[in-house]
Amino acid sequence: MRFMLDTNICIYLIGQQPPQVRARFLATPLGDVVMSVVTYAELRHGIERCPAEDRVAASQALQRMIARVPVLPFGEQDAHSFGVLAAAVPDRRRDAMDRLIAAHAVSMGCILVTNNEADFKDYPGVQVENWTLKPEPAAIDIKTMQNEGRD
């Protein structure tokens, strides 16, 4: 299973917060997490808007991230997917960058990881996961624990 990170998740990972996002990222096999070049462009834009004294550090943090998270190019198949998504939800006024990221995830067969689930609602074929949500605690089966000697 492959995951494509939305911009907000990349920002959380660079900042190493919240802990559940970092934990989920580290638990996912290397190569199963990718980034759209559209997300990379948004992150570069953010770096350029940083105060001059913070730009070098921000750029280095992003370089460390892309050393582990491949940046996928946006090609013809992705553009086709964008056309399909834009036509499928014409009444929604969503950010064009979000549509491009969603289209890229769909065409690459990736699950889109975001904390902005509503931004991707109603796009056909888009699968979304939110790694900022804390996992539900596992149900405790008392009988199983007793049988295993953990009572």
**DSSP state string for 13-33:** HHHT-SHHHHHHHHHSPTTSE
- What is the C-alpha separation between 111 and 113, in angstroms, rounded? 6
Neighbours of 43 (CB within 10 A): 22
Tell me: the pLDDT tens digits for 14-30? 999 999 999 999 999 99
Average pLDDT score over residue span 76-81 = 97
* Residue positions counted in the chain: 151
pTM of structure: 0.86
* Among 60-74, 81-95, 133-147, the least confident range: 133-147
The answer to whether residue 138 scores a pLDDT higher than 90 is no
The answer to whether residue 123 scores a pLDDT higher than 50 is yes
- What is the C-alpha separation between 6 and 29, in angstroms, rounded? 18
Q: Please report the pLDDT score of residue 92 as a whole number.
A: 67
> 54: exposed, middle or buried (C-beta count within 10 Å: 0-12, 13-18, 19+)?
exposed
Tell me: the pLDDT tens digits for 126-137? 999 999 997 655
Mean pLDDT for all residues in the chain: 89
Q: Please report the pLDDT score of residue 76 as a whole number.
A: 97
Q: Please report the pLDDT score of residue 74 as a whole number.
A: 97
The separation between CA 90 and the C-alpha centre of its own chain, rounded to angstroms, equals 24
The answer to whether residue 146 scores a pLDDT higher than 90 is no
- What is the C-alpha separation between 110 and 103, in angstroms, rounded? 10
Tell me: the pLDDT tens digits for 81-120? 999 998 988 876 668 899 999 999 999 999 999 999 999 9
Which of 98, 104, 96, 105 lies closest to 127 in space, CA to CA?
105
